[in-house]
Structure 1
Amino acid sequence: MTFRKFAFNNVIRNKRLYAAYFLSSMFTVMVFFTFAIFAFHPTLSGDELHSSVRNGMNISAGIIYVFSFFFIMYSMSSFLNTRKREFGLLMMQGMSVRQIRLMVFLENMLIGFIATIGGILFGLLFAKGILLLAENVLLMDEPLNFYFPFQAIMITFGSFILLFFVISLFVSYVLRTRKLVDLIKGNKKSKGEPKANIFLVILAVLLLGVGYSVALVAKGVSVIAVMLPVIIVVIIGTYFLFTQLSVYIIRKFKKKDTVFWRKTNMILLSDLSFRMKDNARTFFMVAIVSTVAFSAVGTLFGFQYFLEAGIKNANPNTFTYNGYMVEDEELAKDISLVHKTIKEENIKAKYEQTILRYYEVGNDTILITKSEDYNRFASLIGEDTIHVDSGELKIVEFEGNAFGQTEELTEQTIHLTSGETLSPNEVIYSRALPATDSYFIVSDTDFEKLPAPQREESYYAWQVFNGEEHVLEVSKKLYDKLIPYTFFSPEYELVELKKNYGLVLFVGLFIGVVFFVSAGSFLYFRLYADLDEDKQKFGAIAKIGLTEKELKKVLTRQTAILFFAPIIVALIHGAVALTALSHFISHELFTVSILVLGTFLLIQILYFYIVRYLYTKQVKKVI
């Protein structure tokens, strides 16, 4: 048997461990290849939008490639730790350190080569479906047809073969520092039960408490100012949470007889306490990686939700036209065109128009309108009308707008040409007229007594009540024909927002999924690295009376702690981060947070049940 054949057989014999490594590597290659297909797609060239799409994909591919290096490096380290005893036995049989290093190098290159080929093949298999998905998400005008991505194949193949080559060299180099006695003892060498430092336990609680408090208290731009310090404090606190606080809690449970001696808790707590030092580092890494995934995806969805809600809230009418700085003749043609286009598409809409007049009030220019005009536009969008008596002055705060001038206007007064002075007596909330800031309403009588306005704007609004499905088509036609910035359609603007923001969201989702899958793989490697040890341990315990039902219960709890301890911490981190984001943009993101975090939690629960079933099945074979 040749040496290369020997290395190949080693991979086959360790297929249980290498399967997870191979599948995770292949998934990473497939995602990178998918980005490469987008980056070199013939359609994504030319105009500015397509150029930004291509650049975004290139940057994302770079992020995934760098992350893949560390992910595969960690995976290989897990495998090497489980094979210490095997390497020691080979050395006792006469294999030199140089030969062991060569064997590991060949094994990793073999797996890397197959994973790269497999990732490219699966990428080609699912390429059309992913292209269709991207086409719909990005709302592109041109279809993303399937093509043979020769350039993407060559770049992906070359990049990952190089990556596996570098990692193979590195891990084989690390092996030469191992001593024979350490290899022979393998995982049997006790690391000792970790003990918690009470100072570091208190520090973990303080760091997390201070980090959360600052993040939740900060408002507006101060969120950006405290972001970096909070991130550093929370990361340090998370490390001590798993390495110190978790150890402290487990030791407290062990000392409590009512807990420790209850049914199978003794097996569970003793095992967790003994292995916490290794698990703590894995928990910390998974928690941080998962938090990055949760926060990134949640932030992207949050900003999209915020921007869409802002457009919908600020523009309650189906169509609007602002004739400021437009000549009367051109204005008449534009309004006639809007009416004509609406009629041609068999859309029925209500219509109102007015002259918006702005006056100098204090040191600012403020819109003042009469109650009759306000009521017409309020009725147009289904709001209640109001009554304003002579001598009254009401302030309108644009509903949902957190940046109005209400406080400033309450201190202002309006002087009429008759000598009378009006002071605000009520604040109402409405979306009836277009105003980014608050404005005044006076009675029709008092409106005639106002001095000459500082500026005037012709304003028109249409509210469709039949034929909503044709609104987007009408909007596209009018945007092409009318003067820019005069005509506005919120539905058209939402579509354009999704086109421009779709790339960011699509790329962010892919990166978030890669991070989350990698975090799950870390947990999988950590669990299966101890499989042989668990088989021996539970096999011995079964001989003294452990039933299959009790075994399943212990393994379920052990696996649940391994899978959900870091995820729960990451969910809490993510919830705090998204709450801070909502404080920054002054917009509630509770629904987005529940949707994003809940989705990731459901995926983790599904992953847990699959791994628990496979792991329990392996351990039960020894009973």
Structure 2
Amino acid sequence: MTFRKFAFNNVIRNIRLYAAYLLSSMFMVMVFFTFSIFSFHPDLNGNGMSTSAYIGMKVSSSIIFVFSFFFILYSMSSFLQSRKKEFGLLMMQGMSMKQIRSMVFLENMVIGLFATISGIVLGLVFAKAILLLGENVLILNGKLNFYFPIQAILLTLVAFIALFFFISLFVSYILRSNKLITLIKGNEMSKGEPKANIFLTLLAAILLVAGYGTAVLAERDMVINVMIPVIVIVSIGTYLFFTQLSVYIIKRLKTKKKFFWKNTNMILFSDLSFRMKDNARTFFMVAMVSTVAFSAIGTLYGFQSAFIKDASNKNPYTFSYESYGENEEHDVQLINKALQKEKVKANSEHMMWTSYEMSTDWTLIAKESDFNRFAKLIGEDSIEVEEGQLVVVEYPDSSISNTEELMKQSVELKSGISLQPKEVIVSKALPEQYSYYVISDLDYENLPKPIDEMSFYAWQVTDGEEGVFAVSEELYPQLNDYQFKPTEYRVYVKKKQYASVMFVGLFIGIVFFVSAGSFLYFRLYMDLEEDKQKFKSIAKMGLTERELKKILSRQTMILFFTPITVAIIHGAVALTALSHLSEFSLVKESVTVLSVFFIIQVLYFFIVRYLYTKQVKAEVL
């Protein structure tokens, strides 16, 4: 058997251990390849995608590539730690450390080559589906036809073969030559009872509480000022939580005899503090990577929903048009002709918006008849404003409402009578984000000369809605965006603007999350041989199959859900702080994103638990 054949057989024999590493690497290659397919697509550039979005996809490919480097480096280092005993046996058979390094290099290159080729092949298999998904998510004007991405294949192949080569070279170079006895005994050597430092335990709790409190209580611009300090404080607190506070909590639980001696708790908690201490870096990394994924996707999804909702709520009409006199007649005729051309029937109204100077600022005032005509246009109830009465109208869910200021002011008529506001109503009848006054028609005639006037038109479609988009698409480039406002088309434009950002953010978030799950999988399987021996010994004392499954389920659950729970709490706090910064409520979007990730983690847990339990049972029972 040649040395190369020996290295290849090593990979085949350890395929179970390498499975998650191989699949995760394949996934990263496929994601990078997918971005490359979009980047080099001949129909994409200039087909509805902005230059910034196009650059964003290029940058995202770079982020995924850099992250892949650290992911593969960490994964390979973990595997080497789990193979200490194997290296010791090989050294006993006469293999030198130089030969072991060469073997590790060849093994990693075999895995890297297979992962790269498999990732590209999978990308090609799903290319058409991915392009179809891209059409819908990116809201492109035309179709993205399938093409054979030669440039994308070459870039991915060269980039990842080079990445695996340098990582293989680096890992084999830094592989240390431990003493033979250390390698043979491996994890069997006692590490001593883990101890938690009381000061660091308290510090962990204080830092987390202080970081959470500061993030949640900060308002508006203060969120930016405290962002970096909070990230640093919470990061340190998270690391100390896994290394100190968790060990302290487990130690306290072990002192509770009723709890510790109940059923199989003794077996579960006997070495849990060792596991928490050993897994502290993995837990910390998973928690922080998952937090980044939660926060990034939650923020993008939340802001997209908020901005789209804001765009749709700002104007209740199908079309509206504002003018200060320039080209008014021409533009209105243009709109009406476009409606006729597309056979769209609509009711329309026109009024003059008048602005008046008040004690603190200028204010808009509408007369009762105008208000009621526009209210009827959108199906709202009309109002009755008596002579001498002043009503404040507030637009629903407006972020710039000035109702309180208007309630403190008064309107002076030419006759010298002062009107005091006593009532506030909420209405979308006139699409003005600021609050305004409505007075009776008689009082409106007695108002002083306005400081400004604006002509306002609105159309509400009653028939032929299928032609609304065509009308909007025709008129939007011709008319000023500040004057002509096609509500549905503006929502479409907003969706299109954020679609590319969401597409990129979603891919990066998924890569981070899959990597976090892979870290946990690697860590679990590093302890597989130790668990087999432990439970094999305990089984001789009467451990039943049901009890074994229960212990392994709880052990795997703690491993999987401790860092994810911490990450969900981190993500919830981060999204709450961001909602304070933007003044948009992100509760619904945050719950949606965090719930989806949690469900994915639950499914991942059940799959891994089944595979892990099956292997331990095969050895023990």
Task: Determine if the TM-score, normalized by the shorter chain, exceeds 0.5.
Answer: yes
The one-letter amino acid of 2:485's match is F
- Counting matched residue pairs gives 620
Q: CA deviation at 1:360?
A: 1.5
Task: Identify which range, 436-445 or 499-508, moves more after superposition.
Answer: 436-445
Which residue of structure 1 lines up, in the alignment, with residue 163 of structure 2? 163
Task: Identify which range, 470-479 or 93-102, moves more after superposition.
Answer: 470-479
Is the counterpart of residue 518 in structure 1 residue 515 in structure 2?
yes
Partner Cα distance (2:229, 2:154) in 1: 43
Q: CA deviation at 1:339?
A: 3.0
Instruction: Note closer, same or farther for the CA distance 1:276–1:484 as it changes in structure 2 (3 Å cut).
Output: closer
- 1:554-573 to 2 correspondence within 5 Å? 554-573=551-570
- 1:121-270 to 2 correspondence within 5 Å? 121-270=121-270
Q: CA deviation at 1:286?
A: 0.7
Partner Cα distance (1:387, 1:309) in 2: 31
Q: CA deviation at 1:354?
A: 0.5
Which residue of structure 1 lines up, in the alignment, with residue 96 of structure 2? 96
Q: Contact 1:242/1:284 (CA < 8 Å) preserved in 2?
A: yes
Instruction: Note closer, same or farther for the CA distance 1:374–1:177 as it changes in structure 2 (3 Å cut).
Output: farther
Partner Cα distance (1:90, 1:177) in 2: 12
Counterpart secondary structure, 2:476: helix
Is the counterpart of residue 598 in structure 1 residue 595 in structure 2?
yes
Deviations 1:349-393 (A, max 9, x none): 322211111112234222111122112222222333222222222
The one-letter amino acid of 1:83's match is R
Partner Cα distance (2:181, 2:532) in 1: 24
Partner Cα distance (2:177, 2:325) in 1: 78
Counterpart secondary structure, 1:124: helix
Task: Identify which range, 45-54 or 398-407, moves more after superposition.
Answer: 45-54
Is the counterpart of residue 391 in structure 1 residue 388 in structure 2?
yes
Partner Cα distance (1:2, 1:107) in 2: 14
Partner Cα distance (2:540, 2:173) in 1: 43
Counterpart secondary structure, 1:425: strand
Task: Identify which range, 169-178 or 306-315, moves more after superposition.
Answer: 169-178
Task: Identify which range, 407-416 or 167-176, moves more after superposition.
Answer: 407-416
Deviations 1:485-511 (A, max 9, x none): 321111101111111211000000000
Which residue of structure 2 lines up, in the alignment, with residue 357 of structure 1? 354
Instruction: Note closer, same or farther for the CA distance 1:325–1:229 as it changes in structure 2 (3 Å cut).
Output: farther
Task: Identify which range, 428-437 or 514-523, moves more after superposition.
Answer: 428-437
Which residue of structure 2 lines up, in the alignment, with residue 326 of structure 1? 326
Counterpart secondary structure, 1:101: helix
Which residue of structure 1 lines up, in the alignment, with residue 286 of structure 2? 286
Q: Contact 1:194/1:276 (CA < 8 Å) preserved in 2?
A: no
Partner Cα distance (2:211, 2:260) in 1: 33
Which residue of structure 2 lines up, in the alignment, with residue 401 of structure 1? 398
Which residue of structure 2 lines up, in the alignment, with residue 421 of structure 1? 418
After TM superposition, the score normalised by the length of structure 2 is 0.97
Counterpart secondary structure, 2:383: coil
The one-letter amino acid of 2:509's match is G
Counterpart secondary structure, 1:113: helix
Partner Cα distance (1:430, 1:195) in 2: 64
Q: Contact 1:393/1:422 (CA < 8 Å) preserved in 2?
A: yes
Q: CA deviation at 1:484?
A: 4.5
Q: CA deviation at 1:480?
A: 4.2
Deviations 1:82-120 (A, max 9, x none): 100111111121111111111101111111111111111
Deviations 1:527-572 (A, max 9, x none): 1111111111111111110000110010010111111111111111
Q: Contact 1:139/1:499 (CA < 8 Å) preserved in 2?
A: yes
Which ranges in structure 1 are unaligned for 5 or more consecutive residues?
none
Q: Contact 2:11/2:107 (CA < 8 Å) preserved in 1?
A: yes
Q: Contact 1:44/1:51 (CA < 8 Å) preserved in 2?
A: no
After TM superposition, the score normalised by the length of structure 1 is 0.97
Which residue of structure 1 lines up, in the alignment, with residue 71 of structure 2? 71
Partner Cα distance (2:80, 2:482) in 1: 63
Partner Cα distance (2:100, 2:14) in 1: 16
Partner Cα distance (2:131, 2:224) in 1: 36
Q: CA deviation at 1:346?
A: 4.0
The one-letter amino acid of 2:531's match is D
- 1:576-587 to 2 correspondence within 5 Å? 576-587=573-584
Q: CA deviation at 1:344?
A: 4.2
Which residue of structure 2 lines up, in the alignment, with residue 20 of structure 1? 20
Q: 1:574 aligns with which of 568, 571, 575?
A: 571
The one-letter amino acid of 1:180's match is L
The one-letter amino acid of 2:554's match is R
Which ranges in structure 2 are unaligned for 5 or more consecutive residues?
none
Q: 1:411 aligns with which of 399, 408, 412?
A: 408
Partner Cα distance (2:271, 2:346) in 1: 71
Q: CA deviation at 1:48?
A: 8.3
Task: Identify which range, 463-472 or 164-173, moves more after superposition.
Answer: 463-472
Q: Contact 1:200/1:244 (CA < 8 Å) preserved in 2?
A: yes
Partner Cα distance (2:475, 2:50) in 1: 24
Which residue of structure 2 lines up, in the alignment, with residue 108 of structure 1? 108
Q: Which consecutive segments of 4 or more residues in structure 1 shift more than 6 A?
A: none
- 1:297-312 to 2 correspondence within 5 Å? 297-312=297-312
Partner Cα distance (1:128, 1:50) in 2: 22
Which residue of structure 2 lines up, in the alignment, with residue 33 of structure 1? 33
Is the counterpart of residue 535 in structure 1 residue 524 in structure 2?
no
The one-letter amino acid of 1:73's match is L
Q: CA deviation at 1:483?
A: 4.7
Taking only the aligned residue pairs, the percentage that are identical comes to 62
Counterpart secondary structure, 1:462: strand
Deviations 1:22-81 (A, max 9, x none): 111111111011111111111233478343332111100011011111110111011101
The one-letter amino acid of 1:134's match is G
Deviations 1:242-271 (A, max 9, x none): 111111111111110111011000011112
Q: Contact 1:351/1:461 (CA < 8 Å) preserved in 2?
A: yes
Partner Cα distance (2:64, 2:612) in 1: 29
Deviations 1:447-504 (A, max 9, x none): 1111111111111112224443432222212324445432111110111111121100
Partner Cα distance (1:146, 1:90) in 2: 50
The one-letter amino acid of 2:377's match is L
Partner Cα distance (1:378, 1:215) in 2: 42
Instruction: Note closer, same or farther for the CA distance 1:402–1:484 as it changes in structure 2 (3 Å cut).
Output: closer
Q: Contact 1:44/1:53 (CA < 8 Å) preserved in 2?
A: no
Partner Cα distance (1:173, 1:182) in 2: 20
RMSD value over aligned CA atoms?
A: 1.6
The one-letter amino acid of 2:529's match is D
Partner Cα distance (2:171, 2:481) in 1: 61
Partner Cα distance (2:338, 2:365) in 1: 32
Partner Cα distance (2:174, 2:188) in 1: 21
The one-letter amino acid of 1:594's match is V
The one-letter amino acid of 1:498's match is K
Counterpart secondary structure, 1:353: strand
Partner Cα distance (2:376, 2:190) in 1: 78
Instruction: Note closer, same or farther for the CA distance 1:343–1:419 as it changes in structure 2 (3 Å cut).
Output: same
